[in-house]
Each structure stands twice: as C-alpha cells, then as structure tokens.
Amino acid sequence: MTKSIMLVGVGGQGTILASKLLTIGLMEAGYDVKMSEIHGMSQRGGSVSSQVRYSKDQVYSPVIEIGGADMIVSFEKVEALRYLKYLKEGGTIVANNYKMESVATITGKAEYKVEEVDKKLKELNAKVINAADKATELGNAKVMNIILLGTVIKGMHLEDIDWEQIIRDNVKEKFIDINIRALHEGMALVS
C-alpha cells in the first residue's frame, strides 16, 4: 500500500531538506520512494511543498492526488489550510503554530486572520505544535524543520529506520548533535 505525505511551508523554513532526509531514510529502509517539490518564489517567502510517496511495492508517480495524502505537515500554519484539499478522509494534519507574514499582509493588501486559521485547524483536529519555540529552546531556530520531520516519523510509524545515522550522513558535522536532539523532540510531540 502506498503512503503519501505532504510537507508544506514557506521558503527558507527547511521544507525541502526535511523531505530529502525523509526520502533518503525511506529508500535506505527498502521502500520505493518518489518525491516532488514545488518552490516557485520560495526564496521570497512563497509557498513550498514537497510530496513524498512510498511503498514496499512500486510507486509510479510522486504526485499526490486531491484527497490522497495520509499526512500533511505544515511548517507555517496557514499552509495547512492552503493544501487541505489533498488530505484524505481520516488523514492527519500536523501544523506548526508559526505565523509568517506574506508580502500581501505586510503591505496591507491582505489580512492574516489568526483567529480564523486557529479555529479551522481546531475544527480539523489538527495537531498544532510549537516547533519554532522548541527549536529556539534547543539553541538553533533552524532545526524547526527536523522537529517537524520527527513528527512525520512518529506519525507514520517509521521509528525503526536509523534516522540518527541518516542525519549523521547528510548534515554538516557541527550541526549533527542539535539535529538529532531536534528529531527526538519532534517524535515526542506526536502520540
């Protein structure tokens, strides 16, 4: 059975790195994996999405159909709502309780309605976590993406893969320890 995960966020949050680490770990565990990424104006704070599909059988396409995602992990909370149509019935949403202003909201052309976003996430039974705060507590705000990767690992029951080794093999040496701690923080946030 093919599983499908969407990781969505805003440019600069590490969405693509988290997706690549997830893909590497799944491949090393013997899964057939397909990944696609969309990051248009991501360097300017635009929307970023990665789609990861995996199975012990062959996966033919990296594209997740509308209503086909088992899990959506949102690095910025409004992005969870933007990609909601991809979530399958009974799927899981993990949303980082993080607000990033867009160009439209900064210039006053649009309004970021925090209360409405929070209400909708609650209605959807989304697991809202404070990955940005946890990353800051660990000493490096940039490991927020690895905390969120930890939620994917736990939420999709992928704990048997040697994720610590994946980090050791793919992260600069000076950042290995903090990323491993971030991974475990993320796994602990999802029950």
Domain residue limits, the chain:
3-189
State the Cα–Cα distance between residues 121 and 118, nearest whole angstrom.
5
CA distances for 74 relative to 7, 51, 60, 120, angstroms: 6, 12, 25, 14
How far is the C-alpha of 70 from the C-alpha of 97, rounded, in Å?
20
Least confident of 16-20, 26-30, 42-46: 42-46
DSSP letters of 91-103?
EEEEEE------H
According to the model, what pLDDT value does residue 164 have?
A: 98
Q: Note the pLDDT of residue 39.
A: 65
- pLDDT category at 98 given cuts 50, 70, 90 is confident
3-189 has CATH 3.40.920.10 classification:
yes
Distance CA 91, CA 15 (A): 20
Distance CA 80, CA 84 (A): 6
**Can you tell me the distance from the alpha carbon of 22 to that of 31, in angstroms, rounded to the nearest whole number?**
11
- Going by pLDDT thresholds of 50, 70 and 90, the confidence category of residue 74 is very high
Least confident of 4-13, 16-25, 82-91: 4-13
Mean pLDDT in the chain? Answer: 90
Query: What is residue 93's predicted lDDT score, i.e. its pLDDT?
Result: 95
Give the model's pLDDT for residue 190: 85
pLDDT band at 105 (very low <50, low <70, confident <90, very high): low
- pLDDT above 70 (res 54): yes
pLDDT in tens, 174-188: 999 999 999 999 999
Q: Which of 31, 22, 34, 20 is nearest to 62 (CA)?
A: 34
The C-alpha atoms of residue 18 and residue 62 are separated, in whole angstroms, by 16
Q: Are 75 and 151 a contacting pair, CB within 8 Å?
A: no
pLDDT digits (tens, 9 = 90+) for 135-177: 999 999 999 999 999 999 999 999 999 999 999 999 999 999 9
| Both tokens assigned to 1 | 């059975």
Dihedral, CA of residue 144, residue 148, residue 154 and residue 155, to nearest 10: 160
Supply the pLDDT for residue 104.
Answer: 57
Strand ranges across the sheet with 47-55:
32-38, 47-55, 3-10, 69-74, 87-96, 127-129
